[in-house]
Structure 1
């Protein structure tokens, strides 16, 4: 194996690791978002964890965050909780930073 091949293999492994961490961070963010929204909806305990899992699962319907946003905004709206999409997106950004830190820390 040449130096070039080794270097290429190293880049491929790093890319795969980065993509895996990105996937984990987004799933963690969605779980944290689900727990946050559950609190806003007055859902606690096991029901809050179940709701968080629903939010995580919603992310697999379409690429991007639109599916998660639609689910959460619909649930909040149905319960009469006033939250705008920009407010929700801001919270998602905060939770993504927290999720990235948690994934990097291995927790």
Structure 2
């Protein structure tokens, strides 16, 4: 029975590690997206950092990525910029891969 318990604990630890890694990568992607959008919106310095934090916080509204997308897309449209939704979604995918690589390299 000890082997079974050890195996179960190992699986639980892996599940917890994978969940934490996914959370970190999503938060990193949202921060990178916020920095990208802040630049488009003309924010610099502390204003850009604050905007990136707003984007990260917007992810807690609902499950999935739509809350983050709506935040960034809405702000870009409110500014009157000609940036399509497809480009924003493409950037989100690109930054997700970047964030996954960064989190993985950090160990």
TM-score range, shorter chain: over 0.9
Partner SS, residue 62 of structure 1: coil
4+ residue stretches of structure 1 with deviation over 2 A?
none
Q: Post-superposition shift, 1:66?
A: 0.9
Matched with 1:40 is 40
Matched with 2:75 is 75
Partner SS, residue 82 of structure 1: coil
Q: Which runs of 5+ in 1 are unaligned?
A: none
Q: Post-superposition shift, 1:80?
A: 0.9
Partner SS, residue 33 of structure 2: helix
Q: Which runs of 5+ in 2 are unaligned?
A: none
CA RMSD of aligned residues (A): 1.2
- 2:20 is equivalent to residue 20 of structure 1: yes
Matched with 1:6 is 6
Deviation by residue 1:45-96 (Cα, 9 ceiling, x = unmatched): 1100000000000000111111111111110001111122221111001101
In 1: Cα distance, 2:97 partner to 2:81 partner? 25
In 2: Cα distance, 1:96 partner to 1:67 partner? 15
Q: TM-score, normalization: structure 1? A: 0.95
In 2: Cα distance, 1:104 partner to 1:6 partner? 26
Matched with 1:65 is 65
In 2: Cα distance, 1:17 partner to 1:33 partner? 24
Q: TM-score, normalization: structure 2? A: 0.95
Q: Post-superposition shift, 1:6?
A: 0.5
In 2: Cα distance, 1:8 partner to 1:89 partner? 38
Residue-pair matches, total: 107
